[in-house]
Amino acid sequence: MSGLRVFIIDDHADFRRLLAHHVTARWPDAVVQQYDPVISGRLPQAFPGADSDVVLLGHPVAHGDALDWLRQLRRTPRFPPIVFLGSGEERQIVAAIKAGAVDYVTKATLSHPRLVEAIGQALAVGGRPDDTSQARSAEPLPQALPRVPGYEVVSTLSEGAVASVYLARDRASGRMAVLKVLRQVPDSGGETHFDRFLQEYELIARVDHPNVVKIFDLGIADDHAYIVMEHCSRGSLKRRIASGMGGEEALALMRVIAGALGALHAAGICHRDLKPTNVMFRGDDSLVLIDFGLAKQAQFRAGITGTGAIFGTPYYMSPEQGEGNAVDQRSDIYSLGIVFYEMLTGRKPYDGQTAMAVIMQHRDAPRPQLPAALAGFQSGLDRMLAKKPAERFQSVGELLAWQPDEVRAAVAVSAERP
C-alpha cells in the first residue's frame, strides 16, 4: 500500500525542499514530487495532478500570480485538493479560498504544525477520498497518540493544549470518523479538562437532531479519554462564507443552525462557542453543529468552568459572555446574529488589535448596519444583536417566527387582495 503523495509547486528550490522536509518528517513514507515553474514553465491545461493526494501551490509561480494557476487547476475534474501558500495578505487569502483552495498558509509564518494541519484539512475534504484514505492508512501513529481500539489514525486535523483532533478510519467498516483525544488525564492535574471533555459527550448524547453531530463511541485508552464522532467531509461554514453567498442562502443556513440550537436549548444546553468553524457540512451537504467543548448546562451559574471565567471566541461573543457573566440561550442567539451578519456581508462586524478590544466593541459599539440591498434582514439582525439580552429574541422559536421585511410586506399585500 503506497504512502501519501504530495506535489509541490513553487519558484524557489529552497522553499520546495523545506516543504518536502516537513512532509516527510510527519509522513516518512510520503512520495514528494517537486515542480519548478521557472525552469519547466506553466503546467498544461489538462494537467491531472500527477496522481497526488495533495498539491502545495506556492505564490508566486514563474514570478507571476499563483491565483491564475489555482483557478486553472481547479477547473480540472477530480483534481486533488490544493493548499495555497502565499504572502498572508487578506485579499489574497479570500481570493485563494474563493478560487478553490482548501486551506491557506502564510509563507512568512510557516511552521511544521501549521503545514501538517493544512495537509490534514486537505485530506479530510479532498476530492479523491477513496484513493487517499487507502494511501494514508499505512502511516504510523504519532508517538503522543494512544492507540484507540478499532480505529486507525489517518491524519492530524488540529492540535491544542487540551485535546487533539484526528481523522480516523473504523477498521471494521472502513467508515471515516473524527477522533478527539484528551491530552490531560485525571491523575496528572487535568481533572477539570477531563470532566469538561466527558461532559461534552454526555451533552451531545442527549440530543437527537439531524443537524447536531453524531457520536459513535467514547472511551479511555492508555489513560487518555477519547470521543469518536461523525466526519463531515465538505468543510466548514467559514469556507463557504469566503466563497460568498446570497441573502436567501444565508437566511436558509441561519435558520438551520437556529433549529439545531433550539434542540440544544430544549435539553438545557448552551453551546457558548458558536462560530463558522463549528458549523460543518456532511458529504450530502447537510449542515452539522459541532464542538461542544465549551457547552454548559444553562441552569448552572457556576461549575467546572469556574464563575467569571471567559471561554469562547471574541469575534462571536455576546456582551455578557465577554464580561464573564452568566449566559443563557439568548447568548447563543447573539452569536448566531454575528455569524448571520458575516454570511450576509462576508466580513465580521467587529474587529480590533486585541481580544479585549473586540469584546469592548460587542458591548459598546453600535449594532452593525447592512447595505441597502440587504436591508430587509436588518430588523431581525437588530433583535439578534441587541446589547441587552432582554431586548433580543428570547428563544429560537421567536427567531424562527421572524420574517424579513420584504417577505412580511409581500404577505400583507397578498392578504389585502380580494
Helix (H, G, I), strand (E, B) or coil at 211: coil
In angstroms, what CA-CA distances link 68 with 62, 97, 359? 11, 13, 38
Q: Are 232 and 281 in contact (CB under 8 A)?
A: yes
Q: Which of 180, 192, 194, 203 is nearest to 223 (CA)?
A: 194
Q: How far is CA 58 from the centre of its chain?
A: 23
Q: How far is CA 42 from the centre of its chain?
A: 33
Residue corresponding to grid cell 471533555: 197
Strand residue runs (E) in 29-162: 31-35, 54-58, 82-86, 103-106, 151-159
273 is known as an active-site residue: yes
Strands 103-106 vs 82-86: parallel, antiparallel or unpaired: parallel
Q: Are 37 and 51 in contact (CB under 8 A)?
A: no
Q: How many CB atoms lie within 10 A of CB 15?
A: 16
Q: Which amino acid is it at 377?
A: F
Per annotation, catalytic residue among 10, 53, 103, 273: 273
Rounded distance, CA 255 to CA 257, Å? 5
- Which residues belong to the active site? 273
